[in-house]
Amino acid sequence: MTKIIKGGTVVTADRTYKADVFIQHDKIVAVGPDLNHDADHVIDATGCYVMPGGIDPHTHMEMPFMGTHSTDDFDSGTAAALAGGTTMTVDFCLPAPNQGLIDALQQWYQKAGKARTDYSFHMAITWWDKQVFDEMPKVVEQGINTFKHFMAYKGSLMVNDDEMFASFSRCAEIGAMPLVHAENGDVVAFLQQKLLAEGNNGPEAHGFSRPPEVEGEAANRAIMIADQAGVPLYVVHVSCEQTHEAIRRARQKGMRVFGEPLIQHLLLDENEYLNDDWDYAARRVMSPPFRSKDHQNSLWAGLAAGSLQVVATDHCAFTTEQKRMGLGDFTKIPNGTGGIEERLPLLWTYGVRTGRLTMNEFVAATSTNIAKILNIYPRKGAIVEGADADIIIWDPEATKTITAGSQKSAIDYTVFEGMPVHGLPRMTLSRGRVAYEEGEVKADTGDGRFVERPANPPVAKALSTWKELTAPRRVERAGIPAGV
């Protein structure tokens, strides 16, 4: 099976140029101007950009959380992904208390059997003892090189500093990278109880209970712990200047820290929680919460400056009925919002079309940077010979208004309802197959494949080399033997 994409403009993280793309089976085998290869299918990309498929490194499909499960599973969630130009998702495997990592992984492989996109997992460290320590290298052997730590959700997913330091140190030993959800869970728990006691029980109190300082403190703490453990760090859902500042400062000091804003935090602000309609506000409850416009400006600036690298979604979609579990007590509203179908069109419309990002920065933030961080580049995140043929044919002139009625997600609303977008995928190819075209998802349930991610990405190797070189060393003194 061969295909040729003709007449388009290839946009990658570092170049924009007129070129055709020739695909054989699941791989790109040639990229260049006016290719005259014979192909079984010709795809006309005149007037379109040809870009690497999006990679969303932060999703929660069918996530067991807060007494329920997120409603988009790997089937509906990855259908939505393809419709929005995303060809790979990375979900979080969450072991239950005392459950082994490998055991939990079997459950996630089973759930992900329904995926229509390629996928991988981050393994969450939700508790700590020798079994977890022993199983971490086995997880890495299975092609998972990232471990997630929740510094919030006290009493469920949260880990303490000692557990985090032990796990980060283990990551350093096995060439893996820790991720953190950075919020001070103890302070959040205190503020939640205080607000409830004062009669603040509506969804707006969710925002009051998680101020930016709570996030910035935790991010800074995780960064310093990672530095002591000698390991790179990836901070998920960076929502505010305080966290961005901590990341920026660390990077300026040479620390290997990455930051991931979400499309929701870039575009939706804290006023959403003040809406008169309880359902409207509750649907937007996620952690960290939406912030002020100043924080949004900081995140956009970080993407342009390179201090923040990746735009994700944290797609974790609950229905209105599920959100109503928190009527009368905001702490029981399942935390999470959707965005996997809208991420690329929104970032294009409000990033590229406004001049806040270049097209190349758009590709970097939605695909290439995370492919490098996750050590799957250039198999993913690139339009080059030998890469997987995960490609978007992007029509920069296509428009629509986002509405729940036409989304692929299984929930009954979208937090982006009514927002116009200008720039949409006309076609999405996943490993050379047409997976989405003109409104229709063509990939079947189960077409996705697990993508193995090898340990020791270049940044981890460089950092461990440097840490070894600069490690404290005993000064040898004449006449004083070691151990005295």
Helix (H) or strand (E) holding 441: strand 440-441
| Residues in Cβ contact with 130 at an 8 Å cutoff, skipping those fewer than 6 apart | none
> Is residue 296 a contact partner of residue 269, using CB atoms and an 8 Å limit?
yes
Query: From ligand URP, Zn ion, none, which one binds at residue 207 (CB under 5 to 8 Å depending on kind)?
Result: none
Residue 448 beta carbon to ligand URP: minimum distance, rounded to whole angstroms: 21
> Is residue 119 a contact partner of residue 93, using CB atoms and an 8 Å limit?
no
- Nearest CB to ligand URP, comparing residues 60 and 251: 60
- Nearest CB to ligand URP, comparing residues 69 and 353: 69
Residue 14 beta carbon to Zn ion: minimum distance, rounded to whole angstroms: 29
Looking from the CA of 100 toward its CB, the CA atoms found within 13 Å total 10
Residue 313 beta carbon to ligand URP: minimum distance, rounded to whole angstroms: 10
- Nearest CB to ligand URP, comparing residues 65 and 362: 65
Residue nearest to ligand URP as judged by C-beta position: 335
Contact residues for Zn ion (CB under 5 A)? Answer: 181, 314
Query: From ligand URP, Zn ion, none, which one binds at residue 335 (CB under 5 to 8 Å depending on kind)?
Result: ligand URP
Residue 217 beta carbon to ligand URP: minimum distance, rounded to whole angstroms: 17
| Three-state secondary structure of 39-70 | CCEEEECCCCEEEECEEEEEECCCCEECCEEC
Query: From Zn ion, ligand URP, none, which one binds at residue 75 (CB under 5 to 8 Å depending on kind)?
Result: none
The tokens for 171 are: 């990551």
- Nearest CB to ligand URP, comparing residues 270 and 385: 270
Residue 398 beta carbon to ligand URP: minimum distance, rounded to whole angstroms: 30
Nearest-angstrom CA–CA distance, 92 and 134: 20
- Nearest CB to ligand URP, comparing residues 50 and 182: 182
Residue 60 beta carbon to ligand URP: minimum distance, rounded to whole angstroms: 5
Contact residues for ligand URP (CB under 6 A)? Answer: 60, 181, 286-287, 314, 316, 335-336
Helix (H) or strand (E) holding 429: strand 420-430
Nearest-angstrom CA–CA distance, 15 and 117: 26
Residue 91 beta carbon to Zn ion: minimum distance, rounded to whole angstroms: 9
- Nearest CB to ligand URP, comparing residues 60 and 116: 60
The tokens for 407 are: 């989304």
> Is residue 315 a contact partner of residue 77, using CB atoms and an 8 Å limit?
yes
Q: What is the dihedral of CA 323, 84, 73, 101, to 10 degrees?
A: -110
- Nearest CB to ligand URP, comparing residues 187 and 286: 286
- Nearest CB to ligand URP, comparing residues 112 and 424: 112
E strand segments, 94-153: 118-124, 146-150
| Residues in Cβ contact with 13 at an 8 Å cutoff, skipping those fewer than 6 apart | 360, 361, 363, 364, 367, 368, 369, 381
Residue 290 beta carbon to ligand URP: minimum distance, rounded to whole angstroms: 11
> Any idea which residue has 């940044």 for tokens?
459
Query: From ligand URP, Zn ion, none, which one binds at residue 78 (CB under 5 to 8 Å depending on kind)?
Result: none
Query: From ligand URP, Zn ion, none, which one binds at residue 336 (CB under 5 to 8 Å depending on kind)?
Result: ligand URP
At residue 151, what is the residue type? M
Query: From Zn ion, ligand URP, none, which one binds at residue 284 (CB under 5 to 8 Å depending on kind)?
Result: none
